[in-house]
Structure 1
């Protein structure tokens, strides 16, 4: 992360600047984390279904665990309850868990490793490297680090924290502008040969880098922000993934709480909450953008579902190889999210919904410039 960015916001509070989002909404609306609706009926292990990311089979919805060491409110959640959510997700048929060394940092991987230990061999663990973080102490240093020697050290430390002998899906969290992607792929290939990594992917990368990475070592999945609130990948990464047979994993599929009704026109944001400096949530844009929530409310009533379930079901309807990973620290929200695959659209309904979505113009940038600078980066040429 750029430590001197002109803003006193740490990694948790600069989304993507080290891989996570810490968000707090104050006044005007209760946060989704603290106002969970009743669990939706019919949420069973059979309802969640399975999908393929390349050759990797996972549940149709995953669980992002990035905030399980510190909630949006910047409080420390009960570790035992986080383990309970992780294990209950498995009981509901969820087999895809997403972490990163940057979350915590390091601590979220420990929580996940502890939580899934009883059923480790029945699930898929995804985690991420790439920020310049000391793998033993968690100290954040400036910038990115995807040097091959560093990747090897980082993965060994990850395996210890996750209490496992292999990482099912290992992403480069952000493209390092100093390291050719072919060198990164070579390091991953060595780890695969050792059995320490089974599949690999990239996050928020430039499209040329994705193609080069896939040519050097077949890529299983791409992870980028994608939701009804941010549809940019439809014109960029998703067509390339379809061409190359790569799965797509949307992070923030509920639009940082916006798509499940956690933000309204009266919402103000706490100091350090990145949403307070995102263009789409500033006072001059937020009331306009709430037309999207109104649309979701209409469809939620029509389908007898929650707002977030409509948003997730819409993502699932876009491509059969899209697997969203909503994060939560609340049991009721986890149950609600895994129920989303039970919401379906007929072809006519989907066409109707898409037409209505197309008519909603979202005003404002998705990220501050200092954070967006880490996305769509192209790796340097291999010399």
Structure 2
């Protein structure tokens, strides 16, 4: 177990985005099985958002948790708009009146009386972050939300948000391929006692090295259109995945487990939330908790980000 501020969660959580959007078709039945297995295996942090599948992801998670809702920490987010049919993000809306309505909508879709961790998904440049966080703080005072967080915020935005209402978590993309969080915002989070939730810790699947996440993407998979999966970008990144696999072979683990173990080694305040729609992948990811990397192996993995095209 680890702590996000005062909130205790499992050292590895479950990101639910891919169960409703982004990576092509996901079998809802298999997704529910994965969520159920996660609870049984001791996962307590489940991450969703109002914008994922235009609310469908929250509905899926709420239905899958059912009576076991009280055993876990449900994290969801507000502040992004999305298309009704496809759930594709279209913009930001951090206005207080929008957030007040969004809290109740999320509670209804999740089928719960409270949200454990409520994030501002993105800071709206048209709305002072103090106003957005202030509206979220009202939900805390009303008993609808327990703890607050922000996602993909700058160091300054984190300070301003925390001054408005104490934050428990900062969610940032953080992996062997994406380490921008380490520049400034990580230090601020630690100074203020805010835990860090790392989303896309497997580089949106690329760090697994599996063909379905690297060279054989489905036709509805949005990664097909990203430079990191095309031409020279893909070739460069796959050379770095080979380095991760070499370390994995040394410690008797999978590439995904090594990528997660590297993050876990970055501090007791770091909680990765790899996403998957399949039970066997979930079991494998959770195995990262037992992988131990030597200082030399960590140093070798540190060099992967500098050489990647992400």
Indicate conservation of the 8 Å contact 2:171/2:197, yes or no.
yes
Match of 2:25 in 1: 75
Match of 1:5 in 2: none
| Aligned mates of 2:136, 2:155 — CA distance in 1 | 19
Q: Secondary structure at the match of 1:118?
A: helix
* TM-score when normalising by structure 1: 0.75
* TM-score when normalising by structure 2: 0.92
Which of the residues 177, 190, 193 maps onto 1:242?
Answer: 190
Q: Which digits, 9 at most, give the CA deviation of each residue in 1:97-125, with x for residues without a partner? A: 00001111101100100111221111100
Which of the residues 229, 237, 241 maps onto 2:177?
Answer: 229
Q: Does 1:53 align with 2:4?
A: yes
CA RMSD of aligned residues (A): 2.3
Which of the residues 302, 307, 310 maps onto 1:362?
Answer: 307
Match of 1:88 in 2: 37
Indicate conservation of the 8 Å contact 2:3/2:9, yes or no.
yes
| Aligned mates of 2:89, 2:214 — CA distance in 1 | 37
Match of 2:273 in 1: 325
| Aligned mates of 1:120, 1:269 — CA distance in 2 | 34
| Aligned mates of 1:363, 1:141 — CA distance in 2 | 26
Higher mean alpha-carbon deviation, 188-197 vs 292-301, is at 292-301
| Aligned mates of 1:282, 1:99 — CA distance in 2 | 28
Q: Does 1:120 align with 2:69?
A: yes
| Aligned mates of 1:169, 1:133 — CA distance in 2 | 21
Indicate conservation of the 8 Å contact 1:181/1:212, yes or no.
yes
Match of 1:66 in 2: 17
Deviation at 1:257, TM superposition (A): 1.1
Which of the residues 197, 204, 208 maps onto 1:256?
Answer: 204
Alignment: residue pair count: 309
Q: Does 1:155 align with 2:103?
A: yes
Deviation at 1:270, TM superposition (A): 5.5
Q: Which digits, 9 at most, give the CA deviation of each residue in 1:264-291, with x for residues without a partner? A: 9982656664434433333123222223
Q: Does 1:196 align with 2:140?
A: no
Match of 2:50 in 1: 101
In structure 2, relative to structure 1, the CA distance for the partners of 1:266 and 1:157 (3 Å cut) is: closer
Which of the residues 111, 117, 120 maps onto 1:172?
Answer: 120
Larger Rg: 1
Indicate conservation of the 8 Å contact 2:214/2:229, yes or no.
no
In structure 2, relative to structure 1, the CA distance for the partners of 1:106 and 1:233 (3 Å cut) is: same
| Aligned mates of 1:169, 1:163 — CA distance in 2 | 15
